[in-house]
Structure formats: C-alpha cells, structure tokens
Structure 1
Amino acid sequence: MVCGGFTCSKNALCALNVVYMLVGLLLIGVAAWGKGFGIVSSIHIIGGVIAVGFFLLLIAIVGLIGAVHHHQVMLFFYMVILFIVFLFQFGVSCSCLAMNQDQQEQLMTSTWSMMSNKTRVDLEKKLDCCGLFNSTADHHEFDTDRALCEANCLNTQNCLTCGQKMLQHASEALRILGGVGLFFSFTEILGVWLAMRYRNQKDPRANPSAFL
C-alpha cells in the first residue's frame, strides 16, 4: 500500500500525537523537577508550564483517539484547536526572532515587575546579580531590589545587574526559542493536514455503502 493510503495516514497521525504526548509529559516533568530542586519557586511559572504541558497532552490524546477510531467529530475539533495553536505559536516565534534590544529591555522590565519578591531572589541567586537595570529612573525601586538581594556577588561589591547579564544571552536565547517554536509550529500544520486528509479517507474495513 502506498504512503497516501488510509493505513499510512492513520499511522503517521498516531505517531505525531505520540510525539506530542511525550513533549507534554516532558514539560510537566521538567516543571516538577524544577520545583523539586528549588530552581524555580514561583507557583505561577510552575503552574504555567504544567498547564501548557497538560493542554498539549490533552490535544494529543484527542488526536490519538480520533485517529485510532477514525472519529469524525474528534478529528474535526483536533484540527481546529491545533490550527489555532499553530497561529499563536507561529506569531510568537516570529516575534522572538524579530525582537531587537530595546524591545528585549521592555519585555524584561514588564516581566520583572510582575515577579514576586521570592522569584526575584531566586533568579538573583542563580545568576549572581542584583536588580534589573541600574540605569532605571526609579532608583528607589532599584535600592529595594538590592536590599532584598541575596546573591554572592554582594560580598565582592562588584554586582552586575540581572538585566545586563540576561541581555548578554537574550538574543541567542530568543533565536533558539523562536527557531524551536517555528519548527514545532510546522509540525502542527502537518498534523492539521494529516488529520484533514485522514478524515476524508474511506476506511477500507467499513461498510462500502456507509457515509464517510
């Protein structure tokens, strides 16, 4: 049987959803590992990663069940949801690849302001830095961050700001993040195409007089 046949489409769609399930479980496992080892203590960050992993796992399960049973309704909702995820992920990936240094600083500033003090302290310890940007107009906020800082560099009185350290690797990290996101977004559009193709194929084991 050629690869464009019913069985090949079914097996390809099942394999793709198994990969999605593994990625979802990996995200959940990494979040739990980071929490267990104290790398990230913020419940919002942990919860967000677990939610993404669970959502991807749920989509993969729906797609896998729909593929195994050739279920028309499940395959339809699988296609719609996966296409919406593709549009969102494609836009975010392109934004990461196109982001310049000024936009990176603005993103860091807004993200820093939303962090809890405990998350900031954890980040400062890990990066060995204090505060976000020393050049900010709000020196009171910088002094407050420095007072809460527990980084080892305070003993040497030669602390860099976390913003300076993060900007050193931000461009490379954004390129990697955008590239990986772009790659996975194309696997999602492949999943939509496979589901659409498989959904419109006739099951050779079904009653020939039955509707698709």
Structure 2
Amino acid sequence: MMGCAGFTCSKNSLCALNILYVMVSMLMIGIAAWGKWFGLVSSFQVVWGIIGVGVFLFLVALAGLVGAVKHHQVLLFFYMITLFLVFVVQFCVSSVCLTINKEQQSELLEVGWNNSKFTQMDVEKNLNCCGFYHMAINETCTAACFPHATCNTCAVKLQEHVGEVLRFVGETGLFFSFTEILAVWLTYRYRNQKDPRANPSAFL
C-alpha cells in the first residue's frame, strides 16, 4: 500500500480496509449475540457493550466505504477525524494492556468482580470456581463443583489466564490501531487526489 500512488490504487486500498472493518464489526456483533444465546454470558451490560462497539465500528466503516467509492469529501473528512480519534483511544488502551503488572491486574479483576453480579455468575460457571478470594458459607455459586465443595477461588483461576488475555487484547489492538492510522493516511491522500474520470478543471 505504501507504494500505491494512483487514484484507483488508493481507492481500492481504502475500500479493502473498510471491508475488513465491516467484517470485524459483524464478527463482534455475532460473537456477542452467540454468547448470550447459548448462555455463556448473562450480563446484558457486557453483551450490549460489545454490540455497541461493533455497531459503531460498522457505521464508521460504512461511512468510509461509501466515501471511498463516491470520493465524497465530507464523508471522507469525518471518517478520517473519527478514525484518528479511535486510533488514539485504541493505541492507549492496547499499550496499557501490554504494560499492566500483576498487582494492577489483580486490582482490576477485583473491581470488575465487585461491580457485577452477572459477571460473577458467568465466571463461576465457565471457570468452575466460587468466590473471588474466599466464599462466605451463606453464598450460592453456579459452578458445577459447588455441591461437592471442591471449588477453588476464582481469583486463582482468573490470574492464570488474565496475563495471556491482556497480551492478546493488547497485541490485537495494536495491530488494528496501525491499520487505522494507515487508513487515516490513505484517506488524507485520497481526498487530495483528482478523479481521472472527472472534469480536470473541477476542484475536489
């Protein structure tokens, strides 16, 4: 793409990137709906949060795709600004995911655990554990091990995987953040190129 200097090449590259974003957004929406449908995630906040991000990404990608196909200056401008802001946020979040230490991971896990009863139920059910650091006698648990009183605490189970999850999220976020800055660069250059099929004397 870096050696792509022509109008058609810039247009096709921008379209390809936005088609990729559309596919990713549909995948996010589909995974959230699938998780809710099969009972893997019971928290509506988590499901609607993922769906909301997917819909936002879909709309941004659609605006970029339409703007690229029609060489629409206004759409391309707002697409470029929005995508740059998304890049800044995503790059910061990805960097934090890759640099957070074990103590900070434990603190974030405990905050997330305490903020949602539905999240607690999902974790207990899927990781087969009960309680965070300990479990009170009068508490209930959705884990299969609970009736047999053989459950480990969920903090232990979560800490086994949280480092890998954060690294995966951080690396994936960084990858997409660099595709976003590439899309911003392509959009900026594409907006300033003239369509060879248009009137040569027309201003774009």
**TM-score category of the 2 structures, normalised to the smaller one:** over 0.9
Question: Aligned pair 1:24/2:28, yes or no?
Answer: no
Task: Give the aligned residue type for 2:148.
Answer: T
- Verify the 8 A CA contact 2:113 2:119 in the aligned structure 1: no
CA distance in 2, matches of 1:152, 1:71: 56
CA distance in 2, matches of 1:120, 1:172: 20
Unpaired stretches in structure 2, ≥5 consecutive residues: none
Q: If the length of structure 2 is used for normalisation, what is the TM-score?
A: 0.95
Number of equivalent positions: 202
Q: Which residue of 1 aligns with 2:64?
A: 63
CA distance in 2, matches of 1:133, 1:100: 19
Q: Give the percent of matched residue pairs that are identical in Structure 1 and Structure 2.
A: 56
Task: Give the aligned residue type for 1:173.
Answer: V
Q: Which residue of 2 aligns with 1:195?
A: 187
CA distance in 2, matches of 1:175, 1:3: 33
Unpaired stretches in structure 1, ≥5 consecutive residues: 135-141
Moved over 2 A (4+): 154-158
How far apart are 1:157 and its partner, in Å?
A: 2.4
- Verify the 8 A CA contact 1:121 1:148 in the aligned structure 2: no
**1:58-207 matched pairs, under 5 angstroms:** 58-116=59-117, 118-134=118-134, 142-143=135-136, 147-207=139-199
CA distance in 2, matches of 1:133, 1:197: 54
How far apart are 1:125 and its partner, in Å?
A: 1.2
SS of the equivalent of 1:95 reads helix
Q: If the length of structure 1 is used for normalisation, what is the TM-score?
A: 0.91
SS of the equivalent of 2:26 reads helix
How far apart are 1:104 and its partner, in Å?
A: 0.4
CA distance in 2, matches of 1:81, 1:115: 31
How far apart are 1:114 and its partner, in Å?
A: 1.3
CA distance in 1, matches of 2:15, 2:170: 26
Taking only aligned residues, the RMSD between alpha carbons, in angstroms, comes to 1.4
